[in-house]
Chains A and B, each alone.
Chain A
Amino acid sequence: GAGVSQSPSNKVTEKGKDVELRCDPISGHTALYWYRQSLGQGLEFLIYFQGNSAPDKSGLPSDRFSAERTGGSVSTLTIQRTQQEDSAVYLCASSLGLAGGYSTDTQYFGPGTRLTVL
């Protein structure tokens, strides 16, 4: 079946502009995650949605970052007033979450959006 999809695949923007990154999770997955990966760095957790519960925003680096998930499916990550240090690959993942009944919950990643802030 279809995996996690993300758009755009690449985004180049100017410092100070706002950007929106989109994630379509695997159908039926109730949990959705955003991570970012900077050059030479490990993946950094940003935010986690589980069903209709309040999201875990503890990884968002500043108030310029926000995310929403509409209808329990598609998610949008918004970065306002982008800075050069925001340049990274932004990865979305989804998992069965509470919809599953397994002892471990595998996260499946999308191909990512490569953001470059000039």
Chain B
Amino acid sequence: RKEVEQDPGPFNVPEGATVAFNCTYSNSASQSFFWYRQDCRKEPKLLMSVYSSGNEDGRFTAQLNRASQYISLLIRDSKLSDSATYLCVVNSDRGSTLGRLYFGRGTQLTVWP
């Protein structure tokens, strides 16, 4: 079983739509959780960390459910510039926030005008 599973999409939505991505992780000892964004043929860039209480950054809201080992990302009022691949990322080093990251395969989003 893969460490991090994501629906690959693609998701094709109109501007202004709300879209949600989900992912699950297999290691219950996982400590840190992130969403990265990767544009075509570019490197991944951190979009936001995911905290247990849930967190929001502008139009983006991330949620973590430790009991279900489930992470979500909600994008409100989608913009054309949101088109990218969204990577669910988990750090599974017990007792540490450092070290290797496990990446999902990514969910592709296309926002159309």
In the complex where A42-B87, A104-B49, A104-B97 touch, is A109 in contact with B102 (Cβ < 8 A)? no
Interface size, chain B (Cβ < 8 Å): 20
Please name all residues of chain B whose beta carbon is closer than 8 Å to the beta carbon of A110 when the two chains form the complex. Answer: 43
Query: Once the chains bind, are A45 and B102 in contact (CB under 8 Å)?
Result: yes
Main secondary structure of the interface of B (DSSP, over half): strand
Query: Is A91 part of the contact surface with B, judged by Cβ < 8 Å?
Result: yes
Q: B104 contacts which of A42, A56, A59, A105 (Cβ < 8 Å)?
A: A42
Query: Once the chains bind, are B43 and A112 in contact (CB under 8 Å)?
Result: yes
Count of CB-CB pairs between chains A and B under 8 Å: 54
Q: A97 contacts which of B32, B43, B46, B98 (Cβ < 8 Å)?
A: B98
Query: Once the chains bind, are A98 and B105 in contact (CB under 8 Å)?
Result: no
Most B Cβ at <10 Å: residue of A31, A58, A98, A103: A103
In the complex where A41-B105, A109-B44 touch, is A104 in contact with B100 (Cβ < 8 A)? no
CB distance from B50 to the nearest CB of A (A): 10
Interface range on chain A: under 10, 10 to 19, 20 to 34, or 35 or more?
20 to 34
Q: What 7 pairs between A and B have smallest CB-CB spacing?
A: A109-B43, A43-B103, A42-B105, A45-B100, A42-B103, A105-B98, A105-B97
Q: Which residues of A contact B (CB under 8 A)?
A: 31, 33, 35, 40-45, 48, 50, 56, 58-59, 91, 95, 97-98, 103-112
